[in-house]
Structure 1
Amino acid sequence: MNQQAKTSAQELLASLYPSSLMVVGASADPGKRGYQAVQALVTEGFQGRIYPVNPRLEQLLGLTCYPEIAAVPGAPELALVCTPAASLPEVLDACGRKGVKTAVVLASGFAEVGAAGQALQNLSLAVARNWGLRLIGPNTSGVFNMHAAMNLVGYRDLRPGPLGILSQSGNMALSLVTEGTLQLHSGFSSYIGVGNASDLAFHDYLDYFLLDQGTGALAAYIEGLDAGQAFLQAARQFTASKPLVVYKSGRSASGQKAAKSHTGALAGNYQVARGVMRQAGVVLVNQPDYLLPVAEALATQPLVKGGRVAVLADGGGHATIAADALDSLGLPLAQLSAASQKALAACLPATASLTNPIDVAGATDTDPEVFARCAEILLADPGVDQLLLVGLFGGYALRFDPQLLIAERQTALQLADLARASGKPLLVHSLYALYKPEPLALLVEEGFPVFSSIEVAVAAVQALTDYSAYRFREATDDYLTGEGEASRRALKILDGARFEGRSALLEPEAKQLLKAFEVQLPEELWLRSREDLQQLDAAWLTQPLAMKLVSQDILHKSDAGGVELNLLGLEDLDAAWQRIELSAAKYAADAKLQGCLLVPMASNQATEVILGVTRDSQYGPLLMFGLGGIFVEVLEDVVFRALPLSRADAWDMLAGIRSAKVLEGVRGQPPVDKSALVELMLKVSALVTAHPEIAEMDLNPVRCYREGYKVLDARVLLNTQRATSSSALEKLELLPELVH
């Protein structure tokens, strides 16, 4: 975090732990936010001074009311603005004169409703900036800080805890708070409704939650980001010390449309957002009801060395469901040591399963403390990274005998002590979780999450595994840079094309650009005229060749009939040249033809992949990777990462496509040289990062072999003014066109 961002975050931190605040537009109507906020502050014990502002009220809930902002004593750090949209410029001007640092603006009717609203929002922002006043909103559902007993939203029955909430939707925030109230939950720290983000935006709030000592993890609901690169930078800094869990909506075309109409936010393509957020250490959940429990697990449990899970169950059904759920996510069951199995046998009946998952075979029905004895054995096993307890625990007194409650309470405390001593996560599923029995409530108070769904519990296991892996790998990450002689050679090629006013490199130039960065390319000849065929060395005439059109006016050579394959001998080459010229003339009569490339036919014993670069309007330069052929055209099996790319990012991309097993070699194809492919990705990253002149780049196909690779075709588009180019969403929609 740079000094400016840190200062801004510290100022926001002070505003959200205020010693005094005012409610502008306070109301005596219990249905109005101006009443609900004051009521919550009074009843929940806010320790600071509260100044309601309303010219028609003298008192509200025992507090003195003030007729105008100028009459309020001192300079409150925070203002909650409950007045209509049209009043906002005047209200903010008065707040600025009073010395208020931050204003929370509830009113809607700004950028989300059209041009007139945008103009009002711009005017309000200009007034605020004139006074150095920061804005949360407008069109926000509000904020709360439970550690300061400051509830400006009016939510009821909140309890303080480690989990922060950041949301673009007030209803989604209400859903999370309601879920936490109805279920066993460790409590909330702060909530901020982003609203229209006219001033303070997602990345600013990440900086705040990073500094806030009361927040252990952050759950965020995101529809779209206007400042994607700033968000990624802030997210990387945040996830270096705290977990960030995101549910990203607007994943479908209709969802993106709804997100825009709802908040005026720009919701980018989900594949892009998923890739770049994962790269920044963000944990993404695929279902909104996973957001709260997964974030809570990350807020309360320690980092893990791996994903090896021991499952301890009191029934075969739950044990099997847990094993299936773990397997579906690629999470391995821990292999228990012989010593652990022997110890388990000593405290379980003969019918119990001693291999993971462990089924206690009814032993806990009459003695719940068996769970604690088994947990001690499993947590001590060096092959176990995490312990997942599934079944009926917490409900034995309800199900069998009320007198078991004492033993269950004792077992809960023992489980908590054992997990803390081991330094390993303990996650508990119980089908009695929704009943909130005392033993489970004790576990939550001790800092251990309880789940009512095995699938959600397993999602939390995966999140702990993935986030821990990110935290541990970041310490040794590395990048390639595009500096030095390679960059100087590349710049000559780029400047030459730009000097001629071209927006694209010729294929031979694109390959020379790659060659400057030591990318592996096939041998080739660029012949400028048909007559040059007569000068070919004999070696070229005795091997099968491919011939490809070179033209600055025809980028997609296949569409123009500009590719001929399996040519052998001078006669084949001459006839192919004539066919290419004829087809190109029909395709684009005015196209300038600049010869043809001759390339030896590549071996079929290879796997084809595609690498693409685009400069996205939200996230900046991106690298796309996927398998070629049908995987690109039909399945869209690609992943994106922001540039610059680290070595760990590149390896993560290889594992991230759905067809990753193809890289291991299938149906007679040899396995791909992954190390060489990673080096290619890093070289492309270094090249594009060093040269913003490059708007887009497509390497397609890249043929990957058991050893090495060959880039068979390359297309490079240039920025005429070093501006950003098409979005990654457009790139994804055009994927079929890239295969040529």
Structure 2
Amino acid sequence: MLPAELFHPGSVAVVGASRNPEKVGNGVFANLVQAGFPGKIYGVNPAGGELFGHPLYPSIDAIPGAVDLGVFVVPPATVLEGIPRLAAKGMRAGIVISAGFKEIGGAGVALERSLREAAASAGVRVLGPNCLGLIDTHASLNVSFSRGTPPRGFISFFSQSGALCTAVLDWAIGRNVGFSKFVSLGNKADVSESDILEFLADDPSTRVILGYVESIDDGRRFLRAARNVTPRKPVIVVKAGSTAAGARAASSHTGSLAGSDRAYAAAFRQGGVLRAGTLEDLFDLALGFSMQPLPRGDRLLIVTNAGGPGILAADTASLLGIPLAGVSASLRERILPALPPTASLANPVDIIGDARADRYRTVLSALRDEPSVDAVLVLLTPQAMTEPEETARATVSLLAGSGKTVFASFLGEATVASSRRILSDGGVPNYPVPERAVRTLSAMLRYSRIRAAGGPGEEEPPSIRPENAERLVSCALAAGRRALGEEESRGILEAYGFTFPRHAFADTSAAAVAAYRAMGCASAVMKIVSPQILHKTDVGGVRLGLRGEEDVARAFMEITSSVRRLAPSAWIAGVSIQEMVTGGRELIVGMSRDPQFGPLLMFGLGGIYVEVLKDVSFRVAPVSRRDAEEMVREIRAWPLLAAYRGREPADEEAIVESLIRVSRLSCDFPEIQELDINPLLVLPKGKGIRAIDCRMTIAEAP
């Protein structure tokens, strides 16, 4: 837990306070004083003197009182010397604004390690280094070198980029948007985004949490923190670096597809975090969530004085799955007398370009208590007869306190500038174009569903026998093998309740024929067994639809000959004979380990299509039943699993159960690095699934 003194100190010492206005230490000290911090302020500068009416002390030891929060704007070596000295004066939290640590590489990495060790030894939590600092408007605390302090509000923002902090600050000041806290994380030597998220979860002065991250060091901790806070407060994050930076090369289908950004996207979804694609989206959502109540439902009504913007808003709503509210008979009766004959009473309600404020006022007054409408979007284009300011006042006064979620889009610039300020001051977010307002409503509806669903719980699947899997994994590790054979992989999955078709191993043509005869199946499949061959079809290592002993004998010769020709260095152990199962749909279930988030499950179309179509979904294990259900329905091909053109629906419950089982397996055995069940054949509803082929790679658990 973070100490309360980081945000609510009784006293602050700025080590490196400077009288030179070009120095960062001068800006930090000026902000602290100008913010009106009510506690004790100490400046430390070897030259002594006075700064902004406060004495400067020549050393930390010369400070006459206790210090709760220390702010360092001095070279790294001086920071390391100062931490234990300020800790001796009671410091429980520190902010290291200074650069010259890990970000410069080489010696800077060692300095940052020493910083972390010094802080831990002193019992001090440290924000930074290489950061902008921190602002808490409710504590009148600004220990940053930002330009100005935003109005007091209930939005909190954390950022890995100090420059992004300054941009958001400038936006907040320019738009008069209230903020509670700004936290610049810097290098995250100690305090991380997870620490901040955990603190803000219970912070009464924070209602909306915004974030900018480039990487999350402990993904699983962040996910736990997000799951704790999002049922109570929205968390909106911009994640930069969406390429697969840091992702490792992997030999399986799952590893090659599960880039780093896939893991972040999955974790954000599971944690209830709303991901903003751009800074513009972040700003838009901040306005909506901070100014308006969550929508009670999804029925949107659009009021406009121009057809074009109304159509654009309606199109965006349709694309995002937001239904337009119907215009009820009672609503029609109330607004019809105030509208000209050319007005449209469909939705959008087009009150025509000559609409003055009184026409808007009549329609909005009728909407205030209309039970069939949950959200209202007021559009205005500036024309000769338009009264933007009066229309803005009508929007605020008539819809404030109505319980409806209200947005405005007063299009243009010069003519509507003052009306936008009226809307903002009245708590109605205004967007330059209507599409952005509708996208904000969509995000608020998503969050409403997250909040209603509550926190997901992990599912404990039935019929698992981890001790059987333990033996197989331990034996393979003892033998120094990384890739498990199909027989071993099958045994581990069977221990977790997976069902396979009847099968047998054969290392000669005669043994293959005997195995086929013993199974007594109508049709069989033969596959090569070789630890060096991962993709059997690539080397001609699979034969389907074998219907007699001659077919089996011929298939053995063809497979082994093809493998020797196409993979001459591969050791051929033999072949696997399996009963051929027909009538199902081919899927893939896989798992790979992400460096930040741990086991990452994958689901999608199987067989050879997974790499071609890449129609897959991901979740971080452990998954809840709801997570698993969402994985299944998230892929574009999900309609193919339903009933269509006389085909029975697939056994979706069995698919969900298989995902939960793989989730448990991946959590039980950190030694398993990658896993593919491909294809996983799903049969018609009520008939279950069959794992047809599988493979795993393992390593010693970390």
- The question of a shared fold, defined as TM-score above 0.5 by the shorter chain, is answered with yes
Match of 1:566 in 2: 545
Q: For 1:192-216, what per-residue CA distance to the aligned partner results, in whole angstroms no more than 9, with x for missing partners?
A: 1111000111101111222221111
Cα separation, partners in 2 of 1:521 and 1:314, compared to 1, 3 Å: farther
Q: Confirm whether residue 491 of structure 1 aligns to residue 431 of structure 2.
A: no
Deviation at 1:344, TM superposition (A): 4.2
Match of 1:474 in 2: 454
Match of 2:174 in 1: 182
Q: d(CA) in 1 for partners of 2:334 and 2:386?
A: 28
Q: Confirm whether residue 525 of structure 1 aligns to residue 517 of structure 2.
A: no
Q: Confirm whether residue 449 of structure 1 aligns to residue 423 of structure 2.
A: no
Cα separation, partners in 2 of 1:81 and 1:701, compared to 1, 3 Å: same
Match of 2:55 in 1: 64
Query: Which of residues 155, 158, 162 is equivalent to 1:163?
Result: 155
- The 8 Å contact of residues 356 and 391 in structure 2, kept in 1 or not, is answered as no
Match of 1:110 in 2: 101
Cα separation, partners in 2 of 1:632 and 1:56, compared to 1, 3 Å: same
Q: Confirm whether residue 125 of structure 1 aligns to residue 125 of structure 2.
A: no
Q: For 1:359-370, what aligned pairs fall within 5 Å after superposition?
A: 359-362=350-353, 364-367=355-358, 368-370=360-362
Q: d(CA) in 2 for partners of 1:121 and 1:73?
A: 29
Q: CA RMSD in A?
A: 3.0
Deviation at 1:386, TM superposition (A): 2.7
- The 8 Å contact of residues 628 and 660 in structure 2, kept in 1 or not, is answered as yes
Q: Confirm whether residue 548 of structure 1 aligns to residue 527 of structure 2.
A: yes
Q: d(CA) in 2 for partners of 1:252 and 1:551?
A: 34
- The 8 Å contact of residues 139 and 195 in structure 1, kept in 2 or not, is answered as yes
Which amino acid in structure 2 is aligned with residue 172 of structure 1?
A: L
Query: Which of residues 689, 706, 716 is equivalent to 2:667?
Result: 689
Match of 1:463 in 2: 443
- The 8 Å contact of residues 165 and 191 in structure 1, kept in 2 or not, is answered as yes
Query: Which of residues 279, 283, 288 is equivalent to 1:297?
Result: 288
Q: Confirm whether residue 271 of structure 1 aligns to residue 262 of structure 2.
A: yes
Q: SS at the partner of 1:65?
A: strand
Q: d(CA) in 2 for partners of 1:538 and 1:114?
A: 66
- The 8 Å contact of residues 612 and 625 in structure 1, kept in 2 or not, is answered as yes
Q: For 1:622-661, what aligned pairs fall within 5 Å after superposition?
A: 622-628=600-606, 632-661=610-639
Give the stretch that moved more between structures: 332-341 or 546-555: 332-341
Cα separation, partners in 2 of 1:284 and 1:567, compared to 1, 3 Å: same
Q: d(CA) in 2 for partners of 1:122 and 1:112?
A: 12
Q: For 1:233-382, what aligned pairs fall within 5 Å after superposition?
A: 233-252=224-243, 269-345=260-336, 347-362=338-353, 364-367=355-358, 368-378=360-370, 380-381=371-372
Q: SS at the partner of 2:484?
A: coil
Deviation at 1:96, TM superposition (A): 2.0
- The 8 Å contact of residues 542 and 569 in structure 1, kept in 2 or not, is answered as no
Match of 2:411 in 1: 431
Cα separation, partners in 2 of 1:290 and 1:630, compared to 1, 3 Å: farther
- Tell me the matched-pair count: 689
Q: SS at the partner of 1:450?
A: coil
Q: SS at the partner of 1:152?
A: strand
Deviation at 1:305, TM superposition (A): 4.9
Higher helix share: 1
Cα separation, partners in 2 of 1:345 and 1:684, compared to 1, 3 Å: farther
Cα separation, partners in 2 of 1:121 and 1:276, compared to 1, 3 Å: same
- The 8 Å contact of residues 186 and 447 in structure 1, kept in 2 or not, is answered as no
Q: d(CA) in 2 for partners of 1:126 and 1:434?
A: 56
Cα separation, partners in 2 of 1:499 and 1:454, compared to 1, 3 Å: same
Q: Point out where structure 2 has 5 or more consecutive residues left out of the alignment.
A: 249-257
Q: d(CA) in 2 for partners of 1:666 and 1:111?
A: 58
Which amino acid in structure 2 is aligned with residue 568 of structure 1?
A: R
State the TM-score, normalized to the length of structure 1: 0.86
Q: d(CA) in 1 for partners of 2:34 and 2:83?
A: 28
State the TM-score, normalized to the length of structure 2: 0.90
Deviation at 1:47, TM superposition (A): 1.6
Q: For 1:41-74, what per-residue CA distance to the aligned partner results, in whole angstroms no more than 9, with x for missing partners?
A: 3233222221111122411111111111111122
- The 8 Å contact of residues 525 and 597 in structure 1, kept in 2 or not, is answered as yes
Deviation at 1:594, TM superposition (A): 4.0
Q: Point out where structure 1 has 5 or more consecutive residues left out of the alignment.
A: 1-7, 258-266, 724-740
Cα separation, partners in 2 of 1:268 and 1:602, compared to 1, 3 Å: closer
Q: d(CA) in 1 for partners of 2:246 and 2:276?
A: 16
Q: SS at the partner of 2:82?
A: helix
Which amino acid in structure 2 is aligned with residue 96 of structure 1?
A: A
Q: d(CA) in 2 for partners of 1:586 and 1:325?
A: 56
Q: Confirm whether residue 699 of structure 1 aligns to residue 677 of structure 2.
A: yes
Q: d(CA) in 2 for partners of 1:599 and 1:390?
A: 65
Which amino acid in structure 2 is aligned with residue 715 of structure 1?
A: R
Q: For 1:701-720, what aligned pairs fall within 5 Å after superposition?
A: 701-707=679-685, 708-719=688-699
Match of 2:251 in 1: none
Q: SS at the partner of 2:309?
A: helix
Q: SS at the partner of 1:30?
A: coil
Q: d(CA) in 1 for partners of 2:279 and 2:513?
A: 67
Match of 1:580 in 2: 559
Cα separation, partners in 2 of 1:80 and 1:274, compared to 1, 3 Å: same
Q: For 1:286-343, what per-residue CA distance to the aligned partner results, in whole angstroms no more than 9, with x for missing partners?
A: 1221112213322343344543322232321111111111222233323454444444
Match of 1:216 in 2: 207
Q: d(CA) in 1 for partners of 2:585 and 2:516?
A: 30
Q: Confirm whether residue 143 of structure 1 aligns to residue 100 of structure 2.
A: no
- The 8 Å contact of residues 348 and 363 in structure 1, kept in 2 or not, is answered as no
Cα separation, partners in 2 of 1:248 and 1:587, compared to 1, 3 Å: same
Q: SS at the partner of 1:163?
A: strand
Q: d(CA) in 2 for partners of 1:556 and 1:86?
A: 55
Match of 2:375 in 1: 386
Deviation at 1:488, TM superposition (A): 3.4
Q: d(CA) in 2 for partners of 1:717 and 1:19?
A: 55
Give the stretch that moved more between structures: 523-532 or 615-624: 523-532
Deviation at 1:17, TM superposition (A): 1.6
Q: For 1:673-711, what per-residue CA distance to the aligned partner results, in whole angstroms no more than 9, with x for missing partners?
A: 433322221122122223333222111122334424432
Q: SS at the partner of 1:417?
A: coil
Cα separation, partners in 2 of 1:72 and 1:400, compared to 1, 3 Å: farther
Deviation at 1:253, TM superposition (A): 5.7
- The 8 Å contact of residues 105 and 140 in structure 1, kept in 2 or not, is answered as yes
Cα separation, partners in 2 of 1:495 and 1:661, compared to 1, 3 Å: same
Q: SS at the partner of 1:702?
A: strand
- The 8 Å contact of residues 41 and 150 in structure 1, kept in 2 or not, is answered as yes
Match of 1:196 in 2: 187
Identity %: 34
Q: For 1:102-152, what per-residue CA distance to the aligned partner results, in whole angstroms no more than 9, with x for missing partners?
A: 111112111111121000111122122211111110011111111122122
Q: For 1:482-516, what per-residue CA distance to the aligned partner results, in whole angstroms no more than 9, with x for missing partners?
A: 57753334334434444544434332332333333
- The 8 Å contact of residues 260 and 594 in structure 2, kept in 1 or not, is answered as no
Match of 1:22 in 2: 13
Which amino acid in structure 1 is aligned with residue 528 of structure 2?
A: L
- The 8 Å contact of residues 541 and 570 in structure 1, kept in 2 or not, is answered as no
Match of 1:417 in 2: 401
Query: Which of residues 465, 487, 498 is equivalent to 1:508?
Result: 487
Cα separation, partners in 2 of 1:711 and 1:356, compared to 1, 3 Å: farther
Q: d(CA) in 1 for partners of 2:346 and 2:447?
A: 28
Q: d(CA) in 2 for partners of 1:122 and 1:545?
A: 60
Cα separation, partners in 2 of 1:449 and 1:62, compared to 1, 3 Å: same
Cα separation, partners in 2 of 1:468 and 1:375, compared to 1, 3 Å: same
Deviation at 1:617, TM superposition (A): 1.2
- The 8 Å contact of residues 11 and 69 in structure 2, kept in 1 or not, is answered as yes
